Amino acid sequence: MIQVTPQMRVLVAVEPVDFRRGIDGLAAQCRQALKADPFSGALFVFRNRSGTAIKALVYDGQGFWLCHKRLSIGRFRWWPRRGEEAAAALHAHELQVLLSAGDPTATGAAPMWRRLAAAG
């Protein structure tokens, strides 16, 4: 079972990928295009060209999980824009919004907790 924790690193690939790729092909995409280690425990999210499906790849210490979600109607409304970076980072709660075909940047969630410096 995949458990997405608040501490988990989530990387969303900006460019679409060929969905004929399986675990090995997407792991290679992590290494080559995203410059990330697929064995790191991070969750990697990819989309198809039409924006109607996403795949999530994660290594749990024993093996890889590959999940595929295809929308029956519509497209994923939000996806990171093309820029200098090949991947965009999301928080776990933003991933849940993305998986529901929503816009994770419009959640209005409270900012992530940060340790306060001691006075004095």
SS3 of 23-92: the string is: HHHHHHHHHHCCCCCCCCCCEEEEECCCCCEEEEEEECCCCEEEEEEECCCCCCCCCCCCCCCCEEEECH
- Whether the predicted pLDDT of 116 surpasses 70: no
The answer to whether position 100 is within a domain reads yes
Domain that holds residue 100: 10-105
The answer to whether position 3 is within a domain reads no
The answer to whether position 111 is within a domain reads no
* Number of separate domains in the chain: 1
Report pLDDT for 107: 79
> Percent of the chain scored above 90 by pLDDT?
68
Report pLDDT for 115: 65
Please, which residues bridge with residue 58 across strands?
43, 65
The answer to whether position 117 is within a domain reads no
β-strand 10-13 against 64-70: which pairing, if any?
unpaired
Report pLDDT for 119: 66
The answer to whether position 74 is within a domain reads yes
Q: What type of residue sits at position 80?
A: P
The answer to whether position 2 is within a domain reads no
CA distances from 86 to 10, 20, 57, 60, 105 (A): 13, 20, 16, 23, 18
Q: Which tens digits make up the pLDDT trace of 25-61?
A: 999 999 999 999 999 999 999 999 999 999 999 999 9
- Whether the predicted pLDDT of 93 surpasses 80: yes
The answer to whether position 46 is within a domain reads yes
The answer to whether position 118 is within a domain reads no
More confident residue, 76 or 105: 76
